[in-house]
Amino acid sequence: LSEEAGGGRGGEAVLTRLLERARDQLGAEAPLDELLGRARHGIVFIDEIDKIRARIDGRAHLPGIRAQEALLTLIENESIPLALPERWGGASVTVDASQLLFVGAGAFETLYDAVYDRVTVGRDRGALQEVTVVDGERLRREERFSLRDWLRSEDLFEYGMTPQFLSRFESVVLLQDLDEERLLRILLEGPESPLRRAEAYFASQGVRLALSPAAAQRIAAEAAAQPRLGARAVAEVFRRVIRDHEFEPATAATDGVVVIDLPEVETALSAGGGI
């Protein structure tokens, strides 16, 4: 996007991807008019949108500025010129972008800390009031900070989302951290979960992999202790548990089954180490 904007071709890659997705849905023989008609009603999901910041550490970030400008070209304009690839004839067409839905998502690292500093030691110091908490028979005072309650558009501007770019999105939604229950469901029910992949691999070696409920719960609990990793934490923890059994599954099996129970999980987690 940054390179396209610098060359005056903002958004071509996005439109081309939409056309390719339309071809996947309608078939390789679908006429161009039908592909354009489907593409005009597409959803553009921009992952890691926080990586196209206009400023980093107080300095202008030119690639981020250009990328935001390229997306603005699509969001603001109803008719976008597009030079088609050779496989579609190489002609130039005009794409109506007025019906596209844009969704951006990102982790926005450091945003939490920046907003917390603003309301505790920064320009809004004193805005965050302590509350009284009953702890058994004792009373204590503590600060309870929620980014959802204190985030302002100005915080996102300072982070590097330009006002003209951010204003094109109708709403800003903060997602909750994945709790232990949800991480457990991802592990046990997700079609692409690390458990499902491991089961398929073990089966290819003629071995069945079995994970006890207690072991699964412990893996989810360990993953929940790393909230900033999200669902990736499940894969990281599970990898630590299963790696010693992967090299020779048949050797680790009893009657053709490798059983992972709570003691095996605790042993693996206590050993430490990374992925």
pLDDT digits 0-9 by tens, 155-204: 999 999 999 999 999 999 998 889 999 999 999 999 999 999 999 999 99
142 or 127, higher pLDDT: 127
Range of weakest confidence among 7-16, 20-29, 165-174, 216-225: 7-16
28 or 195, higher pLDDT: 195
Average per-residue pLDDT for the chain: 88
Q: Give pLDDT tens digits for 47-97.
A: 999 999 998 888 899 889 888 988 888 888 778 888 887 877 788 888 888
pTM for this model (two decimals): 0.74
Range of weakest confidence among 14-18, 58-62, 227-231, 239-243: 227-231
The backbone torsions φ and ψ at residue 83, rounded to the nearest 5 degrees and listed phi first, read -85, 115
Name residue, tokens 């304009």: 77
pLDDT of 2 above 50: yes
pLDDT of 10 above 90: no
pLDDT of 146 above 90: no
Quote the Cα angle for 123-128-130, to 5°.
Answer: 145
228 or 9, higher pLDDT: 228
The whole-number average pLDDT for the span 229-235 is 90
130 by DSSP, 3-state: which?
Answer: strand
Residue 47 region by backbone torsions, left for phi larger than 0, else alpha for psi between -120 and 50, else beta = beta
Handedness of CA 39, 40, 41, 45 (dihedral sign): positive
- Tell me how long the chain is: 275
Name residue, tokens 């992925």: 275
The whole-number average pLDDT for the span 3-18 is 74
225 by DSSP, 3-state: which?
Answer: coil
Report the percentage of the chain scoring pLDDT > 70: 96
Q: Quick one: pLDDT at residue 5?
A: 62
Residue 12 CB neighbour total at 10 angstroms? 21
pLDDT of 110 above 60: yes
Q: Quick one: pLDDT at residue 6?
A: 61
